[in-house]
A and B are shown apart, each in its own frame.
Chain A
Amino acid sequence: DADVTQTPRNRITKTGKRIMLECSQTKGHDRMYWYRQDPGLGLRLIYYSFDVKDINKGEISDGYSVSRQAQAKFSLSLESAIPNQTALYFCATSDGGGPGNTIYFGEGSWLTVV
């Protein structure tokens, strides 16, 4: 089983709908992240969380919200989806800060907004 699990893996939704992407991890890591990947662009950080009570905006947080329900769970919500939020979304985790801590990515969630 994957250490970082994302659900759903694929979703098509309509403009204006609310959609939630869920992430769970079995690595026992405190830090969790949500990234977005678009063709021709690098991954961009949406939100990150250092623990259940510490949530921070990343580079492109507008139009998104997150919830850290438990150490192992970090969900990303699009309150009112729009077509330019069509992208591949990745959840990631790390055990702590600093170069000794590898960042582990999930398998990704493809989201299409029509």
Chain B
Amino acid sequence: SQKIEQNSEALNIQEGKTATLTCNYTNYSPAYLQWYRQDPGRGPVFLLLIRENEKEKRKERLKVTFDTTLKQSLFHITASQPADSATYLCALVRETDSWGKLQFGAGTQVVVTP
């Protein structure tokens, strides 16, 4: 069966350091992988999308990599700030799926301390 795994343990990190989150998947061939941010009691907010033929994508302090051989995406927050504290979700879409039929991981909570 399809499985999308994110580290369930919270990532505690000091301000200024780089936070690295992992999204692993099995029995799945995504064409696109997305990362979302979710704050407590709020809906997910789209951050970045990376295609299967792209190795890396950047947006400001965020960087995403996508390794289809390892079936893994890494999400980096550089120079982390307390305002980056949230839960980060990865979501996958297959080429054959309708857009919006996202398969989500359970998310990893990031806590950035001053």
Q: Which residues of A contact B (CB under 8 A)?
A: 4, 31, 33, 40-45, 48, 50, 56, 58, 90, 92, 94, 96-99, 101-108
Q: Which 6 A-B pairs have the closest CB atoms?
A: A42-B104, A105-B43, A97-B99, A43-B104, A102-B46, A42-B106
Q: Is B61 an interface residue (CB 8 A)?
A: no
Say whether chain B's binding surface is mostly helix, strand, loop, or mixed: loop
B99 closest partner in A (C-beta)? A97
Alpha-carbon distance A50/B113, docked complex (angstroms): 43
Q: Is B69 an interface residue (CB 8 A)?
A: no
Q: Report which residue of A50, A101, A104, A105 has the largest number of chain B beta carbons within 10 angstroms of its beta carbon.
A: A105
Query: Nearest chain B CB to A99's CB is how many angstroms away?
Result: 5
Given contacts A40-B106, A44-B104, contact A103 B46 (CB under 8 A): yes
Q: Report which residue of B99, B100, B103 has the largest number of chain A beta carbons within 10 angstroms of its beta carbon.
A: B100
The number of inter-chain residue pairs (CB within 8 angstroms) is 62
Cross-chain contact A42 with B105 (CB below 8 angstroms): yes
Given contacts A42-B4, A97-B100, A99-B49, contact A105 B105 (CB under 8 A): no
Q: Is B16 an interface residue (CB 8 A)?
A: no
* 10 further A-B pairs in the complex, CB-CB below 8 A; given A31-B100, A105-B45, A108-B43: A31-B99, A41-B106, A43-B102, A43-B104, A94-B100, A96-B99, A97-B98, A99-B49, A105-B44, A106-B43
Cross-chain contact A103 with B106 (CB below 8 angstroms): no
Q: How many of chain B's residues touch chain A, expressed as a range?
A: 20 to 34
Alpha-carbon distance A4/B98, docked complex (angstroms): 21
Cross-chain contact B43 with A90 (CB below 8 angstroms): yes
Q: Is B76 an interface residue (CB 8 A)?
A: no
For B8, what are the chain A residues with a Cβ–Cβ distance below 8 Å?
Answer: 40
Cross-chain contact A94 with B99 (CB below 8 angstroms): yes
Query: Nearest chain B CB to A23's CB is how many angstroms away?
Result: 11
Q: Could you mark each residue 10-28 of chain B with 1 if its beta carbon is under 8 Å from any beta carbon of chain A, else 0?
A: 0000000000000000000
Alpha-carbon distance A4/B4, docked complex (angstroms): 27
CB pairs A–B below 8 angstroms (18 shown): A40-B106, A41-B106, A42-B91, A42-B103, A42-B106, A42-B107, A56-B98, A92-B43, A97-B98, A98-B99, A99-B32, A103-B100, A104-B46, A105-B43, A105-B44, A107-B42, A108-B42, A108-B43
